Amino acid sequence: MFRPRRLRSNPQIRNLVRETTLSVNDFIYPMFIEEGENIRKEIISMPGIYRTSIDRLDAELQELVDLGINSIMLFGIPKKKDAIGSESWNSEGVVQQAARYIKAKYPQLYLVADICFCEYTDHGHCGVLDGETVNNDETLLNLEKQTLSMAEAGFDMLAPSGMMDGGIGVMRDVLDLNGYENMPLMAYAVKYSSAFYGPFRDAADSAPSFGDRKTYQMDPANRLEAIKEATLDLQQGADILMVKPALSYLDIIREVKDQFDVPIAAYNVSGEYAMVKAAAANGWIDGEKVMLEKLMSMKRAGADIILTYHAKEAAKLLI
Ligand code: PBG
């Protein structure tokens, strides 16, 4: 009889035959940088995650370095918002300042910028409004400005999350024309319109003031459309393809991984984090074990890179 249990009988053999491993090198840790001074505010729906002003960043940055976490993604929370999100291309904007600060003091950290407008617009949508919907091509003009501003601020990689058609191509062109031909683009290629972003919108003050994002983010029911989106972004010059959210979309991660020969990233989003934290706080699950199982499942599904708020906790357990 063939007995699969032979290879499960002790930790040593299980370690030898394990097919997937998680490493601190897989993680990108997202951080929320708020404009102002002396700010270090925990986000209620995301225990352990903070909004921090630049002058209070050092302790956490040092902690990341000590844990061996090499990559972070920055989200900015500006004081000033307007209809078009113009603060997002201000060279003295909060994220641009943070990038310069971090690059100078922690050169070993790889810095990724989330490129979007929802944190910078007073209506919370991801671009310029035309009535009740986002005008794609006008938003692309501003996307060029934001792209250049973030590149000039010193980011190592740009990650556009706005789901505008043609966005990757516009970014690639403006980067190439300005001497940033080596700047990689990690496209939020397959980004669903998801209720799992709820806590993030509190964290980044970016909830839409009316309506939803269904006219630009994808319908969770669609699989073939994921292939179309990924294909388009690759044609326009994406270097890495992201699927977001992760946990309810593991099938999509696998599909994209099998179809394309570029690195795949998965965004383990705020709602996925909050659910684990809430259940663990109630004593209903073992939070650490569930977290590692969840991250492992993303890796097993095909993610090469995982953006996760759990990065620090996971790193401590993986060391
Ligand atoms: C910006 C953006 C969002 C997230 C990442 N970038 C919010 C959204 O699209 O509403 C969500 C991240 C998370 O939930 O952790 N467009």
Residue 107 has pLDDT above 80, yes or no: yes
* Residue 11, CB-side half-sphere exposure with 13 Å CA sphere: 0
Pocket lined around ligand 1, Cβ cut-off 6 Å: 114, 116, 118, 126, 161, 197, 200-201, 269-270
Q: Which of 230, 236, 306 is nearest to 272 (CA)?
A: 306
Residue 191 alpha carbon, nearest atom of ligand 1:
9
3-class secondary structure, 157:
strand
Active-site residue set: 191, 244
Pocket test for ligand 1, best of 74, 158, 192, 197 (most atoms within 8 A of CB): 197
> How far apart, in Å, are the Cα atoms of 260 and each of 41, 212, 280?
40, 30, 36
- Please tell me the residue having the least CA distance from ligand 1 atom 11: 197
Q: In angstroms, rounded to a whole number, what is the distance separating the alpha carbons of residues 306 and 296? A: 10
Give distance in angstroms: CA of 197 to centre of ligand 1: 6
pLDDT digits (tens, 9 = 90+) for 75-87: 999 999 999 999 9
Structure tokens, 2:
């063939």
Q: How many residues does the chain have?
A: 319
> What's the whole-model pTM score?
0.97
169 within domain boundaries: yes
The CATH number that applies at residue 191 is 3.20.20.70
63 assigned to some structural domain? yes
Q: Say if 214 falls within a structural domain.
A: yes
Do the domain assignments include residue 82?
Answer: yes
Structural domain boundaries, residue 107: 21-318
Looking at ligand 1, which atom is closest to the CA of residue 271? 14
Looking at the CA of residue 196, tell me the nearest atom of ligand 1.
Answer: 14
78 backbone dihedrals φ, ψ, rounded to 5°: -80, 160
pLDDT in tens, 223-270: 999 999 999 999 999 999 999 999 999 999 999 999 999 999 999 999
Say how far residue 187 (Cα) sits from the centre of its chain: 10
Other Cβ atoms closer than 10 A to 115: 24
8 falls within a domain: no
Q: Does the residue 67 lie in any domain?
A: yes
| pLDDT surpasses 90 at 205 | no
Residue 195 within a domain:
yes
What three-state secondary structure class fits 27? Answer: strand
Our count of domains for the chain comes to 1
* Domain membership flag for residue 193: yes
**12 C-alpha to ligand 1 centroid (Å):** 40
CB within 8 A of 209, min separation 6: which ones?
122, 123, 124
Mean pLDDT of the chain: 97
